[in-house]
Protein backbone atom coordinates (compact mmCIF):
# COMPACT_ATOMS: atom_id res chain seq x y z
CA UNK A 1 0.00 0.00 0.00
CA UNK A 2 2.71 2.49 0.87
CA UNK A 3 4.31 1.96 -2.57
CA UNK A 4 0.95 2.78 -4.21
CA UNK A 5 0.66 5.93 -2.12
CA UNK A 6 4.22 6.96 -3.04
CA UNK A 7 3.57 6.48 -6.77
CA UNK A 8 0.43 8.61 -6.72
CA UNK A 9 2.35 11.81 -6.10
CA UNK A 10 -0.32 13.16 -3.75
CA UNK A 11 -1.13 12.56 -0.15
CA UNK A 12 -4.22 10.51 0.54
CA UNK A 13 -5.90 9.61 3.77
CA UNK A 14 -5.54 5.88 4.19
CA UNK A 15 -7.93 3.78 6.27
CA UNK A 16 -6.69 3.06 9.78
CA UNK A 17 -7.85 -0.55 9.84
CA UNK A 18 -9.45 -3.23 7.73
CA UNK A 19 -12.77 -2.27 9.33
CA UNK A 20 -12.41 1.31 8.08
CA UNK A 21 -11.52 0.07 4.62
CA UNK A 22 -14.71 -2.00 4.59
CA UNK A 23 -16.73 1.08 5.49
CA UNK A 24 -15.15 2.92 2.59
CA UNK A 25 -16.94 0.65 0.13
CA UNK A 26 -20.29 1.57 1.67
CA UNK A 27 -23.28 2.06 -0.55
CA UNK A 28 -25.41 4.18 1.74
CA UNK A 29 -27.07 7.19 0.20
CA UNK A 30 -26.03 9.55 2.93
CA UNK A 31 -29.13 11.72 2.99
CA UNK A 32 -31.76 9.13 2.14
CA UNK A 33 -32.07 10.22 -1.51
CA UNK A 34 -32.84 7.76 -4.25
CA UNK A 35 -29.76 6.18 -5.81
CA UNK A 36 -29.09 6.57 -9.53
CA UNK A 37 -27.69 3.03 -9.61
CA UNK A 38 -29.33 0.47 -7.32
CA UNK A 39 -26.22 -1.67 -7.09
CA UNK A 40 -22.68 -0.31 -6.80
CA UNK A 41 -21.65 -3.10 -9.22
CA UNK A 42 -23.68 -1.29 -11.94
CA UNK A 43 -21.03 1.42 -12.26
CA UNK A 44 -17.33 2.02 -11.80
CA UNK A 45 -15.23 5.16 -11.43
CA UNK A 46 -11.94 5.19 -13.29
CA UNK A 47 -9.29 7.90 -12.92
CA UNK A 48 -6.68 8.23 -15.66
CA UNK A 49 -4.00 9.97 -13.59
CA UNK A 50 -1.61 10.46 -16.51
CA UNK A 51 -4.15 12.28 -18.68
CA UNK A 52 -6.08 13.85 -15.80
CA UNK A 53 -9.42 12.51 -17.05
CA UNK A 54 -12.02 10.78 -14.89
CA UNK A 55 -14.75 8.43 -16.05
CA UNK A 56 -17.89 6.83 -14.68
CA UNK A 57 -18.62 3.61 -16.58
CA UNK A 58 -22.09 2.11 -16.19
CA UNK A 59 -24.10 -0.78 -17.59
CA UNK A 60 -27.78 0.07 -17.07
CA UNK A 61 -29.30 2.84 -19.17
CA UNK A 62 -29.95 6.10 -17.34
CA UNK A 63 -33.58 7.02 -16.82
CA UNK A 64 -32.82 10.74 -16.67
CA UNK A 65 -30.84 13.48 -18.40
CA UNK A 66 -27.95 14.65 -16.24
CA UNK A 67 -27.30 18.39 -15.97
CA UNK A 68 -24.29 18.16 -13.62
CA UNK A 69 -22.80 16.29 -10.68
CA UNK A 70 -21.89 17.61 -7.24
CA UNK A 71 -19.24 16.04 -5.00
CA UNK A 72 -19.60 16.53 -1.23
CA UNK A 73 -16.17 16.18 0.44
CA UNK A 74 -17.78 15.85 3.88
CA UNK A 75 -19.85 12.76 3.02
CA UNK A 76 -17.74 11.53 0.05
CA UNK A 77 -20.88 11.16 -2.05
CA UNK A 78 -21.70 12.42 -5.54
CA UNK A 79 -25.14 13.89 -6.14
CA UNK A 80 -26.54 13.67 -9.65
CA UNK A 81 -28.64 16.71 -10.63
CA UNK A 82 -30.91 16.20 -13.63
CA UNK A 83 -32.15 18.74 -16.17
CA UNK A 84 -35.51 18.84 -14.37
CA UNK A 85 -33.74 19.50 -11.04
CA UNK A 86 -34.20 16.04 -9.51
CA UNK A 87 -31.42 14.93 -7.17
CA UNK A 88 -30.07 11.37 -6.95
CA UNK A 89 -27.18 9.89 -5.04
CA UNK A 90 -24.72 8.19 -7.39
CA UNK A 91 -25.08 5.04 -5.30
CA UNK A 92 -21.81 4.61 -3.40
CA UNK A 93 -19.37 6.48 -1.23
CA UNK A 94 -16.25 7.56 -3.15
CA UNK A 95 -13.32 5.35 -2.16
CA UNK A 96 -10.29 6.90 -0.46
CA UNK A 97 -7.91 6.14 -3.36
CA UNK A 98 -10.10 8.04 -5.86
CA UNK A 99 -10.96 11.05 -3.70
CA UNK A 100 -7.90 13.22 -4.57
CA UNK A 101 -8.81 12.98 -8.27
CA UNK A 102 -12.54 13.60 -7.80
CA UNK A 103 -12.30 16.43 -5.25
CA UNK A 104 -11.84 19.24 -7.77
CA UNK A 105 -14.21 20.94 -10.20
CA UNK A 106 -13.81 19.31 -13.59
CA UNK A 107 -15.54 17.74 -16.53
CA UNK A 108 -15.71 13.97 -16.50
CA UNK A 109 -17.12 11.39 -18.88
CA UNK A 110 -20.08 9.13 -18.20
CA UNK A 111 -19.83 6.12 -20.50
CA UNK A 112 -22.45 3.36 -20.89
CA UNK A 113 -20.98 -0.03 -21.68
CA UNK A 114 -22.34 -3.33 -22.91
CA UNK A 115 -20.27 -6.50 -22.47
CA UNK A 116 -17.26 -4.32 -21.65
CA UNK A 117 -17.50 -2.23 -24.84
CA UNK A 118 -18.47 1.47 -24.87
CA UNK A 119 -21.93 2.13 -26.32
CA UNK A 120 -22.42 5.85 -25.76
CA UNK A 121 -21.37 8.59 -23.42
CA UNK A 122 -21.23 12.27 -22.65
CA UNK A 123 -19.20 14.85 -20.78
CA UNK A 124 -20.64 16.40 -17.62
CA UNK A 125 -19.49 19.03 -15.13
CA UNK A 126 -18.59 17.86 -11.63
CA UNK A 127 -18.94 20.68 -9.12
CA UNK A 128 -17.67 20.65 -5.56
CA UNK A 129 -20.26 21.32 -2.88
CA UNK A 130 -19.51 24.39 -0.78
CA UNK A 131 -19.03 23.57 2.89
CA UNK A 132 -22.08 24.37 4.95
CA UNK A 133 -21.58 27.25 7.33
CA UNK A 134 -22.89 26.49 10.79
CA UNK A 135 -24.04 29.43 12.84
CA UNK A 136 -23.79 29.76 16.57
CA UNK A 137 -26.67 31.06 18.66
CA UNK A 138 -24.55 32.34 21.57
Report the DSSP pairing between strands 87-89 and 106-114: unpaired
Count the domains in the chain.
Answer: 1
pLDDT score at 130:
86
Question: How high is the mean pLDDT in each 10-residue block of the chain (138 residues)?
Answer: 40 39 42 78 93 94 94 95 95 91 95 94 95 62
Identify whether 136 is part of a domain.
no
* Burial classification of residue 112, based on how many CB atoms lie within 10 Å of its CB (0-12 exposed, 13-18 middle, 19 or more buried): middle
Identify whether 54 is part of a domain.
yes
Identify whether 99 is part of a domain.
yes
Rounded Cα distance, 70 and 30, in Å: 14
Contact 17, 30 (CB under 8 A): no
pLDDT score at 129:
92
Rounded Cα distance, 23 and 33, in Å: 19
CA distances 103 to 97, 119, 129, Å, are 11, 27, 10
Contact 128, 104 (CB under 8 A): yes
Identify whether 64 is part of a domain.
yes
Contact 61, 48 (CB under 8 A): no
Identify whether 133 is part of a domain.
no
Domain of 6, in residue numbers:
2-128
Nearest to 95 by CA among 130, 60, 135, 45: 45
pLDDT score at 25:
41
Helix (H) or strand (E) holding 22: helix 18-24
Q: Tell me if the pTM is above 0.75.
A: no
Torsional class of 32: left (φ above 0), alpha (ψ -120 to 50), beta (otherwise):
left
Identify whether 57 is part of a domain.
yes
Identify whether 22 is part of a domain.
yes
Amino acid sequence: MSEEKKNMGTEVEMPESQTDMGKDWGTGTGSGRTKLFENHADFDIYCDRERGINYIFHGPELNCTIDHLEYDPDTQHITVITNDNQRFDLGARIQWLVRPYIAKEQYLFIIRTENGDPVDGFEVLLKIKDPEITSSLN
